[in-house]
């Protein structure tokens, strides 16, 4: 019996999530690293293995998009910061993903797209056309969205005879997160209240788009028609100065935020997603402690809690990497979490 050749995989971006993903691609025998796209000039020319503390992988990091588009590969793990973060400096995520799909590469992205229908018929038509042109597939995934606020609630409703309300809560601690791009620029921690309100606008639009996908995905798959998805957010200011991995948080600056996304039917919430982000959970007592919680109100009442995910970014990367084989085997087109086999038990198993 002949073994299947390894799947050729491109790693697109090597930030906080991308580094975990890249390490998995290099170390797992079912994959062959085909290319690495980086944005940091200091990473250009480096060997991919050395970038993540591994022996040389024989693949040099590049910032040349055209080179990556021309590279033969089965799948691209697309894990940059959202294009909206950069304003007009970069092509939109839809443009980039369509370009990759049209070259025949399957794409797994952590920039959203767990349910592209929410981006409108125009975006869906462009993505589907790119899939047809390349004979390729697109899958959006992650931890939240991608699992906790969409796949997991749907799974739990399989135990329900009646569903009245679905409530999902995420609380994340960023004290050990070293990326200032994410902690400061994206989430707005360490900024004054005035700076935060101005700087968080692009992030607010991205967050709303992201979690509206989850809420709409769950509702549609349960046969519920939502009237709208409502969003609200608030923030907390630090009462004293403290240090986190991304730098000092001074008194009077933003140290936490809470976001609410509710899918409404006749003015009442059918599904609510609460996201709490804290610069340091030990210093910020307001709102929920770190972890995930899913409540299904109905018959029966169900509640599932995950007290902590020690490395949430590693989990997001793993969920994407574990989906590669299934996506490459799937028919061309947009593939949601329900279209692929559940990505479990595909990583390295250690028994000692």
Q: How many domains would you assign to the chain?
A: 2
- Domain shared by 281 and 231, yes or no: yes
**Range 195-213 average pLDDT:** 86
- Name the residue range of residue 54's domain: 7-142+314-339
Task: Quote the mean pLDDT of the chain.
Answer: 92
- Domain shared by 101 and 215, yes or no: no
For the ranges 85-89, 124-128, 133-137, the lowest mean pLDDT is seen at 85-89
- Domain shared by 177 and 275, yes or no: yes
Distance, CA of 186 to chain centre: 14
For the ranges 77-86, 221-230, 285-294, the lowest mean pLDDT is seen at 77-86
pLDDT of residue 18: 96
We report the CATH number of the domain holding residue 43 as 3.40.50.720
Q: Which of 112-126, 174-188, 330-344 has the highest mean pLDDT?
A: 112-126
Q: Is the pLDDT of residue 350 over 70?
A: no
- Domain shared by 335 and 247, yes or no: no
Closest to 252 in 3D by CA, of 194, 205, 211, 339: 194
d(CA 321, CA 90): 25
The structure tokens 């969409």 sit at 150
**Band of the pLDDT at 116, cuts 50, 70, 90?**
very high
- Domain shared by 159 and 119, yes or no: no
- Domain shared by 156 and 297, yes or no: yes
**Band of the pLDDT at 347, cuts 50, 70, 90?**
low
- How would you classify the pairing of strands 291-299 and 228-237? unpaired
**Band of the pLDDT at 206, cuts 50, 70, 90?**
confident
Q: Is the pLDDT of residue 233 over 80?
A: yes
For the ranges 60-69, 191-200, 315-324, the lowest mean pLDDT is seen at 191-200
- Domain shared by 184 and 244, yes or no: yes
**Band of the pLDDT at 2, cuts 50, 70, 90?**
very low
36 is a domain residue: yes
344 is a domain residue: no
Q: How confident is the model over 242-257, as pLDDT tens digits? A: 999 999 999 999 999 9
How far, in Å, are 28, 122, 141, 145, 327 from residue 332 at the CA level?
Answer: 25, 18, 17, 23, 9
Three-point CA angle 49, 25, 33, nearest 5°: 70
**Band of the pLDDT at 213, cuts 50, 70, 90?**
very high
- Domain shared by 160 and 300, yes or no: yes
Q: For residue 181, count CB atoms less than 10 angstroms from its CB and return exposed for 0-12, middle for 13-18, buried for 19 or more.
A: middle
pLDDT of residue 294: 97
Contact residues for 113 (Cβ-Cβ < 8 A; gap 6+) = 93, 97, 119, 127, 138, 139, 140, 213, 334
- Domain shared by 238 and 215, yes or no: yes
Helices (H), 135-251: 151-156, 180, 193-199, 201-221
Q: Is the pLDDT of residue 29 over 80?
A: yes
350 is a domain residue: no
d(CA 30, CA 301): 42
Residue 249: half-sphere exposure toward Cβ, Cα within 13 Å: 29
How far, in Å, are 65, 80, 149 from residue 275 at the CA level?
Answer: 34, 21, 10
- Domain shared by 265 and 156, yes or no: yes
**Band of the pLDDT at 113, cuts 50, 70, 90?**
very high
- Domain shared by 117 and 15, yes or no: yes
d(CA 51, CA 334): 32
| Count of residues in the chain | 352
**Band of the pLDDT at 323, cuts 50, 70, 90?**
very high
- Domain shared by 201 and 220, yes or no: yes
pLDDT of residue 1: 41
d(CA 249, CA 239): 10
The structure tokens 């007009």 sit at 88
């Amino acid at each position: 019996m002949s073994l299947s050749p390894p799947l050729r995989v491109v790693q697109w971006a090597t930030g906080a999530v991308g580094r975990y993903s890249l390490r998995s691609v290099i170390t797992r025998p079912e994959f062959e690293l085909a290319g690495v796209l980086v944005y940091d000039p200091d990473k250009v020319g480096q060997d991919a293995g050395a970038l993540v503390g591994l022996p040389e992988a024989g693949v040099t990091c590049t910032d040349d998009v055209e080179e990556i588009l021309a590279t033969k590969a089965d799948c691209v793990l697309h894990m940059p910061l959202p294009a909206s973060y950069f304003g007009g400096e970069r092509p939109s995520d839809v443009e980039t993903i369509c370009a990759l799909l049209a070259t025949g590469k399957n794409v797994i992205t952590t920039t959203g797209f767990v349910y592209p229908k929410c981006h409108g018929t125009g975006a869906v038509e462009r993505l589907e056309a790119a899939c047809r042109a390349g004979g390729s597939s697109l899958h959006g995934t992650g931890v939240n969205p991608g699992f906790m606020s969409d796949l997991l609630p749907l799974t739990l409703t399989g135990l329900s005879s009646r569903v009245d309300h679905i409530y999902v809560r995420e609380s994340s601690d960023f004290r050990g997160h070293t990326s200032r791009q994410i902690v400061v620029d994206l989430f707005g921690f360490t900024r004054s209240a005035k700076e935060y309100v101005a700087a968080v606008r692009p992030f607010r639009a991205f967050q709303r788009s992201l979690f509206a996908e989850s809420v709409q995905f769950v509702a549609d798959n349960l046969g519920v028609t939502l009237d709208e998805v409502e969003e609200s957010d608030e923030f907390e200011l630090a009462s004293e100065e403290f240090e986190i991995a991304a730098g000092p948080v001074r008194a009077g600056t933003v140290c936490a935020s809470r976001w609410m996304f509710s899918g409404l039917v006749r003015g009442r919430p059918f599904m609510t997603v609460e996201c709490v982000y804290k610069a340091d959970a030990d210093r910020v007592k307001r709102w929920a402690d770190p972890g995930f919680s899913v409540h299904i109100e109905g018959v029966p009442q169900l509640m599932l809690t995950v007290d902590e995910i020690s490395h949430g970014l590693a989990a997001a990367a793993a969920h994407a990497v574990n989906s590669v084989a299934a996506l490459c085997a799937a028919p061309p087109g947009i593939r949601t979490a329900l279209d692929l086999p559940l990505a479990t038990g595909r990583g390295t198993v250690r028994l000692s």
